[in-house]
Protein backbone atom coordinates (compact mmCIF):
# COMPACT_ATOMS: atom_id res chain seq x y z
CA UNK A 1 0.00 0.00 0.00
CA UNK A 2 2.84 2.39 0.89
CA UNK A 3 4.46 1.75 -2.54
CA UNK A 4 1.18 2.45 -4.34
CA UNK A 5 0.68 5.74 -2.48
CA UNK A 6 4.27 6.77 -3.16
CA UNK A 7 3.88 5.99 -6.87
CA UNK A 8 0.62 7.96 -6.99
CA UNK A 9 2.32 10.91 -5.30
CA UNK A 10 5.07 10.88 -7.91
CA UNK A 11 2.51 10.87 -10.71
CA UNK A 12 0.64 13.80 -9.16
CA UNK A 13 3.81 15.80 -8.67
CA UNK A 14 4.72 15.28 -12.34
CA UNK A 15 1.23 16.21 -13.44
CA UNK A 16 1.26 19.51 -11.57
CA UNK A 17 4.83 20.57 -12.29
CA UNK A 18 4.88 24.05 -13.87
CA UNK A 19 5.27 24.00 -17.66
CA UNK A 20 8.77 24.79 -18.89
CA UNK A 21 8.71 27.80 -21.22
CA UNK A 22 10.80 27.36 -24.39
CA UNK A 23 12.11 30.61 -25.82
CA UNK A 24 11.51 31.08 -29.55
CA UNK A 25 14.44 30.45 -31.85
CA UNK A 26 15.47 32.32 -34.99
CA UNK A 27 17.82 31.39 -37.82
CA UNK A 28 18.75 32.65 -41.29
CA UNK A 29 18.78 30.48 -44.40
CA UNK A 30 20.78 32.10 -47.21
CA UNK A 31 19.99 31.35 -50.84
CA UNK A 32 23.78 31.24 -51.40
CA UNK A 33 26.90 32.52 -49.68
CA UNK A 34 28.56 34.29 -52.65
CA UNK A 35 26.87 37.05 -54.64
CA UNK A 36 28.05 39.18 -57.54
CA UNK A 37 27.17 42.59 -58.89
CA UNK A 38 23.71 42.78 -60.52
CA UNK A 39 22.40 40.02 -58.25
CA UNK A 40 19.80 40.53 -55.51
CA UNK A 41 20.21 39.26 -51.97
CA UNK A 42 17.65 36.64 -50.94
CA UNK A 43 17.32 34.84 -47.61
CA UNK A 44 14.71 33.29 -45.34
CA UNK A 45 14.18 34.08 -41.66
CA UNK A 46 13.09 30.90 -39.88
CA UNK A 47 11.47 31.02 -36.42
CA UNK A 48 10.17 28.33 -34.09
CA UNK A 49 6.99 30.27 -33.31
CA UNK A 50 5.18 33.43 -34.36
CA UNK A 51 5.13 35.72 -31.33
CA UNK A 52 3.75 38.86 -32.94
CA UNK A 53 7.12 40.62 -32.68
CA UNK A 54 8.86 41.85 -35.82
CA UNK A 55 12.38 40.77 -36.71
CA UNK A 56 14.90 43.62 -36.59
CA UNK A 57 17.50 43.36 -39.31
CA UNK A 58 20.88 45.08 -39.77
CA UNK A 59 23.16 44.43 -42.74
CA UNK A 60 26.80 45.43 -42.25
CA UNK A 61 30.09 45.08 -44.05
CA UNK A 62 33.41 43.79 -42.75
CA UNK A 63 34.37 47.29 -41.56
CA UNK A 64 31.26 47.51 -39.38
CA UNK A 65 29.39 50.00 -41.59
CA UNK A 66 25.79 49.00 -41.89
CA UNK A 67 22.18 49.82 -42.48
CA UNK A 68 19.81 51.31 -39.96
CA UNK A 69 17.39 48.96 -38.22
CA UNK A 70 14.92 47.36 -40.64
CA UNK A 71 11.76 45.92 -39.02
CA UNK A 72 10.34 42.91 -40.85
CA UNK A 73 6.92 41.45 -39.90
CA UNK A 74 7.15 37.77 -38.95
CA UNK A 75 3.91 36.11 -40.05
CA UNK A 76 5.00 32.49 -40.57
CA UNK A 77 7.66 30.02 -39.48
CA UNK A 78 9.50 30.69 -42.74
CA UNK A 79 9.67 34.31 -43.97
CA UNK A 80 11.31 34.98 -47.38
CA UNK A 81 13.19 38.29 -47.57
CA UNK A 82 13.94 39.29 -51.18
CA UNK A 83 15.95 42.44 -51.85
CA UNK A 84 14.38 44.90 -54.27
CA UNK A 85 17.72 46.43 -55.27
CA UNK A 86 20.66 44.54 -56.81
CA UNK A 87 24.24 44.94 -55.64
CA UNK A 88 25.89 47.79 -57.55
CA UNK A 89 29.60 48.58 -57.81
CA UNK A 90 29.09 52.26 -56.98
CA UNK A 91 27.41 51.44 -53.66
CA UNK A 92 28.70 48.08 -52.42
CA UNK A 93 32.44 47.33 -52.19
CA UNK A 94 33.62 43.76 -52.60
CA UNK A 95 34.11 41.73 -49.42
CA UNK A 96 32.26 40.05 -46.58
CA UNK A 97 28.84 41.15 -45.33
CA UNK A 98 26.77 40.12 -42.33
CA UNK A 99 23.02 39.91 -41.73
CA UNK A 100 22.14 40.41 -38.05
CA UNK A 101 18.61 39.44 -37.00
CA UNK A 102 17.00 39.98 -33.59
CA UNK A 103 13.63 38.39 -32.87
CA UNK A 104 11.78 38.13 -29.54
CA UNK A 105 14.99 38.52 -27.54
CA UNK A 106 16.99 36.07 -29.68
CA UNK A 107 19.82 37.02 -32.04
CA UNK A 108 21.51 35.33 -34.97
CA UNK A 109 23.95 36.28 -37.75
CA UNK A 110 24.61 34.96 -41.25
CA UNK A 111 27.58 35.78 -43.46
CA UNK A 112 27.90 36.14 -47.23
CA UNK A 113 30.50 37.45 -49.65
CA UNK A 114 30.20 39.95 -52.50
CA UNK A 115 32.69 38.92 -55.19
CA UNK A 116 33.54 40.01 -58.72
CA UNK A 117 31.91 37.28 -60.80
CA UNK A 118 32.52 39.08 -64.08
CA UNK A 119 28.88 39.87 -64.75
CA UNK A 120 27.87 42.92 -66.75
CA UNK A 121 25.88 45.22 -64.52
CA UNK A 122 23.45 47.90 -65.65
CA UNK A 123 22.58 50.08 -62.61
CA UNK A 124 18.97 50.18 -61.48
CA UNK A 125 18.92 53.92 -62.33
CA UNK A 126 18.59 52.86 -65.95
CA UNK A 127 15.32 51.00 -65.31
CA UNK A 128 13.40 54.25 -64.89
CA UNK A 129 15.20 55.92 -67.79
CA UNK A 130 14.52 53.02 -70.17
CA UNK A 131 10.87 52.94 -69.05
CA UNK A 132 10.58 56.67 -69.78
CA UNK A 133 12.13 56.15 -73.20
CA UNK A 134 9.65 53.38 -73.98
CA UNK A 135 6.81 55.70 -72.94
CA UNK A 136 8.08 58.42 -75.28
CA UNK A 137 9.02 60.80 -72.46
CA UNK A 138 12.66 61.05 -73.52
CA UNK A 139 14.31 60.93 -76.95
CA UNK A 140 16.69 58.32 -78.36
CA UNK A 141 19.61 60.67 -77.84
CA UNK A 142 18.86 61.20 -74.17
CA UNK A 143 18.61 57.41 -73.70
CA UNK A 144 22.07 56.87 -75.19
CA UNK A 145 23.41 59.80 -73.18
CA UNK A 146 22.12 58.06 -70.02
CA UNK A 147 23.95 54.86 -70.99
CA UNK A 148 27.10 56.94 -71.40
CA UNK A 149 26.71 58.69 -68.03
CA UNK A 150 25.41 55.92 -65.76
CA UNK A 151 26.75 52.63 -67.15
CA UNK A 152 30.35 51.49 -66.77
CA UNK A 153 32.35 51.74 -70.02
CA UNK A 154 33.31 48.10 -69.61
CA UNK A 155 29.62 47.22 -69.92
CA UNK A 156 28.36 49.66 -72.57
CA UNK A 157 30.85 51.86 -74.41
CA UNK A 158 29.48 54.94 -76.16
CA UNK A 159 32.52 56.14 -78.15
CA UNK A 160 31.22 59.59 -79.08
CA UNK A 161 30.30 62.64 -77.05
CA UNK A 162 26.64 63.52 -76.77
CA UNK A 163 25.83 67.21 -76.50
CA UNK A 164 23.07 69.67 -77.30
CA UNK A 165 24.22 69.85 -80.94
CA UNK A 166 23.87 66.15 -81.75
CA UNK A 167 21.52 64.70 -79.13
CA UNK A 168 18.51 64.94 -81.46
CA UNK A 169 20.42 63.40 -84.38
CA UNK A 170 20.78 60.05 -82.61
CA UNK A 171 18.32 57.36 -83.62
CA UNK A 172 17.71 53.95 -82.04
CA UNK A 173 16.05 51.25 -84.20
CA UNK A 174 12.40 50.69 -83.35
CA UNK A 175 12.90 46.96 -82.76
CA UNK A 176 15.21 47.72 -79.82
CA UNK A 177 12.08 48.66 -77.84
CA UNK A 178 11.11 44.99 -77.77
CA UNK A 179 14.54 44.12 -76.37
CA UNK A 180 14.21 46.89 -73.77
CA UNK A 181 10.78 45.58 -72.71
CA UNK A 182 12.20 42.08 -72.29
CA UNK A 183 15.08 43.42 -70.22
CA UNK A 184 12.79 45.42 -67.91
CA UNK A 185 10.60 42.35 -67.40
CA UNK A 186 13.61 40.15 -66.63
CA UNK A 187 13.26 37.95 -69.71
CA UNK A 188 16.78 38.77 -70.92
CA UNK A 189 19.91 39.43 -68.85
CA UNK A 190 22.01 42.55 -68.41
CA UNK A 191 24.64 40.88 -70.61
CA UNK A 192 22.19 40.36 -73.47
CA UNK A 193 20.81 43.90 -73.30
CA UNK A 194 24.30 45.41 -73.09
CA UNK A 195 25.46 43.26 -76.03
CA UNK A 196 22.54 44.61 -78.10
CA UNK A 197 23.46 48.26 -77.45
CA UNK A 198 27.18 47.61 -78.02
CA UNK A 199 26.44 45.83 -81.31
CA UNK A 200 24.41 48.80 -82.55
CA UNK A 201 27.15 51.26 -81.59
CA UNK A 202 30.04 49.20 -82.97
CA UNK A 203 28.25 48.83 -86.31
CA UNK A 204 27.34 52.54 -86.33
CA UNK A 205 23.64 51.75 -86.40
CA UNK A 206 23.57 54.09 -83.41
CA UNK A 207 25.92 57.02 -83.93
CA UNK A 208 26.11 60.81 -83.65
CA UNK A 209 25.93 61.20 -87.43
CA UNK A 210 22.83 62.66 -89.05
CA UNK A 211 20.70 59.90 -90.60
CA UNK A 212 18.94 60.44 -93.92
CA UNK A 213 15.59 58.72 -94.27
CA UNK A 214 14.30 55.82 -92.19
CA UNK A 215 16.93 53.24 -93.00
CA UNK A 216 17.12 52.09 -89.40
Least confident stretch, 72-81, 120-129, 132-141, 170-179: 120-129
CA distance from start to end of the chain: 105
What are the extents of the domains in the chain?
26-114, 125-202
Give 35-90 pLDDT, tens digit per residue.
Answer: 998 888 999 999 999 999 999 999 999 888 888 899 999 999 999 999 988 888 87
Which band of pLDDT confidence, cut at 50, 70 and 90, is reported for residue 4? very low
Q: What topology is assigned to 26-114 in CATH?
A: Immunoglobulin-like (2.60.40)
Answer yes or no: is pLDDT of 16 > 60.
no
Integer angstrom CA distances of residue 145 from 4, 116, 151, 186: 92, 27, 10, 23
Residue 14, pLDDT > 50, answer no
Rounded to whole angstroms, how far apart are CA atoms 95 and 113? 6
The span from the CA of 125 to the CA of 163, in Å, is 21
What are the counts of helices (DSSP H) followed by strands (DSSP E) for the chain? 5, 8
Q: Which residues are within 8 A (CB) of 2 and not within 5 positions of it... i.e. 6 or more apart? A: none
Amino acid sequence: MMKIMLFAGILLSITFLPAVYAEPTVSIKLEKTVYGYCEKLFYIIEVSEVTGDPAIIHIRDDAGKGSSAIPIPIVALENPIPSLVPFEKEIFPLGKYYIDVEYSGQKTTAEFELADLGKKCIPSTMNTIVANWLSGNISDGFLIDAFDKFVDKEVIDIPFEINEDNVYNIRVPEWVKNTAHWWLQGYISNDEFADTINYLVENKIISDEVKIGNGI
